[in-house]
């Protein structure tokens, strides 16, 4: 496992209401490709994107094809192949796609591209970016309010820059509500290792953490299991995962990749597709946290408590209004 993975999720209940305008039934079917820089595999982020993409394809009558790549070199090759095979729109995603997309998009100025979750500043590319650190901030703030032991933890996939968006946001939020709290961070060293993820959670629990956020991709499953076994609280990423074990998985950080994929296809077929950069944060409802920005089917855990939720909702409003600034660790 390599490269990276972004998680998170906004469950993005796709606004399926807005569908049936049946834009281009008369025209020829558009061919749209979603080229992913790695295997969809265990990555909820890609799973959601693929779902949103396919859904839009069937709803708006576009011919859609999802292409996974085994590695970065293969990705560039796939991207070039889709150009050669003359897709009308080529969507791709994540930071990993940046280099290849820059090259290919520059070489093919007449082709339409879109990239999700990073910015590629070219005239024929539409970029959609997320501000996950804002959601992490909310989660950290909630954790700071809810913790009884004053120790909270995070089990993180890898010590790599892109994951600092999560840890740093979380820590900023935590400090804002509970400057005393101790924050434990441990790295799994892999995106696919629930076994180690579980051990790390057990370790943090043994050090007294009562809330441990999973930020370890598949490793999260291990964290959840540890929570169930030892009775501490945890949180998931990407989609609303509280339903899996509402007693222990008390929060989820959300990232609307499916909605973005869906919207992109929709706008392209409908003719409202625009190049340039779109930035999705709390304000645009592109990222969020269960109970704060979105309701959940699960009941709110007493550990979190309605009172804390209300307090953090206020923080969310401050972030949206710009009153509170969340520092992006990747921006200098």
Partner 1 sequence: MDQLFDVSLFASTLRLVTPILLAALGGALCARVGLFNVGLEGLVLMGAFSAIVGNHFTGNVFAAVIFAVICTIIFSILFGYMSIHLKANVIVVGIALNFLALGLTTFSLRAVFDVKGAYYNKDMIGLPKWEIPLLQDIPWFGEALSGHSPLVYLSILLVIFLQLFLFKTVTGFRLLAAGENPTAAKSLGIKVARIQYGAVLMCSVLCGLAGAQLSLGNVTMFTEGMTSGRGFIALVATMLGQSNPLGVAASSLLFGFMDALSIRLQGFAMPTHFTMMLPYIVTIAAMLFFKDKNYMQEARKSNESSR
Partner 2 sequence: MDKLLQFGRSMLQPLLAVFVGLAAGAIAIVIVGGSVAETYAEMWKGAFGSFYFFTNTLSRATPIILIGLGVALAFRAGFFNMGSEGQMVLGALSAAVTAIYLPGPGWFKLIAAIIAGIISGGIWSALAGWLDARFRMNLLITTLLLNYIAALFAGYLVSYPLKDRTGSAAMAQTVMLDQSVWLPKLFKGMSLHAGFILAAVGAVLLFLFMRYTVKGYEIRMLGGNPLFASYGGVQRGKMMLLSMFVSGGFAGLAGSVEVLGTQYRYLDGALTSPGYAWSGIMATLLAGSHPLGTAIAAILLAALQTGGMGMERNTEVPLEVSSIIQAVLILFVSAKLTYSFIKRRKARS
Give the footprint of partner 1 on residues 206-235 (CB under 8 A): 206-207, 218, 221-222, 225, 228
Q: Is 159 in the site for partner 2 (CB under 8 A)?
A: yes
CB of 245 to partner 1, least distance (A): 6
Two tokens, residue 180: 């005393």
Q: Is 118 in the site for partner 2 (CB under 8 A)?
A: yes
**Complete DSSP assignment for 250-272:** EEEEEE-HHHHHHHHHHHHHHT-
Q: Is 47 in the site for partner 2 (CB under 8 A)?
A: no
- Range in contact with partner 2 (rule: CB under 8 A) among 45-53, 67-75, 261-269, 271-279: 67-75
Using CA atoms, how far apart are residues 193 and 5, in angstroms rounded to an integer? 13
- The phi, psi pair for 10, rounded to 5°, reads -85, 125
CB of 152 to partner 1, least distance (A): 14
The closest of 277, 261, 286, 274 to 62, measured between CA atoms, is 261
Q: Which of 88, 98, 99, 245 binds partner 1 (CB under 8 A)?
A: 245
- Go through 37-60 and write b for each residue having 16 or more CB atoms within 10 A of its CB, e for each that does not: bbebebbbbbbbbbbbbbbbbebb
Using CA atoms, how far apart are residues 304 and 280, in angstroms rounded to an integer? 26
118 binds, among partner 1, partner 2, none (CB under 5 to 8 A by kind): partner 2
276 binds, among partner 1, partner 2, none (CB under 5 to 8 A by kind): none
186 binds, among partner 2, partner 1, none (CB under 5 to 8 A by kind): partner 1
- Range in contact with partner 2 (rule: CB under 8 A) among 1-9, 197-205, 237-245, 295-303: 1-9
Q: Which of 78, 94, 186, 253 binds partner 1 (CB under 8 A)?
A: 186
CB nearer partner 2, residue 88 or residue 318: 88
Task: Give the start-end residues of each E strand in the chain.
Answer: 31-35, 63-67, 89-93, 112-116, 125-130, 151-156, 182-187, 211-215, 233-238, 249-255, 276-280, 287-289
Q: Is 88 in the site for partner 2 (CB under 8 A)?
A: no
């Amino acid at each position: 496992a390599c490269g990276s993975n972004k998680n998170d999720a906004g469950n993005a209940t796709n606004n399926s209401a807005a569908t049936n305008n049946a834009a281009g039934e008369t025209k020829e079917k558009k061919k749209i490709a979603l080229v992913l820089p790695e295997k969809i595999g265990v990555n909820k982020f890609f799973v959601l994107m693929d779902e949103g993409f396919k859904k839009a394809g069937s709803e708006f009558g576009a011919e859609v094809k999802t292409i996974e790549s085994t590695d970065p070199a293969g990705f560039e090759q796939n991207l070039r192949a889709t150009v050669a095979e003359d897709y009308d729109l080529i969507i791709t995603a994540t930071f990993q796609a940046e280099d290849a997309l820059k090259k290919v998009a520059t070489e093919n100025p007449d082709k339409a591209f879109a990239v999700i979750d990073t910015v590629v500043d070219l005239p024929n590319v539409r970029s959609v970016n997320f501000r996950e650190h804002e959601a992490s901030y909310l989660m950290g703030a909630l954790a700071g309010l809810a913790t009884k032991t004053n120790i909270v933890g995070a089990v993180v996939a890898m010590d790599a820059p892109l994951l600092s968006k999560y840890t740093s946001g979380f820590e900023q939020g935590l400090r804002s509500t509970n400057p005393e709290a101790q924050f434990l961070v441990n790295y799994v060293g892999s995106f696919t290792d629930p076994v180690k993820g579980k051990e790390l959670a057990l370790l943090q629990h043994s050090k007294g953490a009562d809330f441990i956020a999973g930020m370890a991709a598949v490793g999260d499953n291990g964290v959840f299991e540890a929570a169930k076994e030892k009775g501490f609280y945890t949180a998931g990423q990407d989609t609303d995962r509280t339903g899996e074990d509402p007693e222990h998985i008390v929060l989820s950080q959300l990232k609307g990749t499916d909605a973005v994929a869906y919207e992109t296809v929709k706008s392209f077929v409908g003719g409202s597709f625009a190049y340039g950069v779109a930035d999705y944060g709390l304000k645009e409802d592109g990222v969020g946290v269960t109970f704060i920005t979105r309701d959940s089917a699960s009941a709110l855990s007493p550990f979190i408590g309605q009172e804390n939720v209300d307090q953090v909702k206020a923080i969310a409003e401050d972030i949206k209004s710009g009153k509170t600034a969340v520092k992006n660790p990747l921006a200098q």
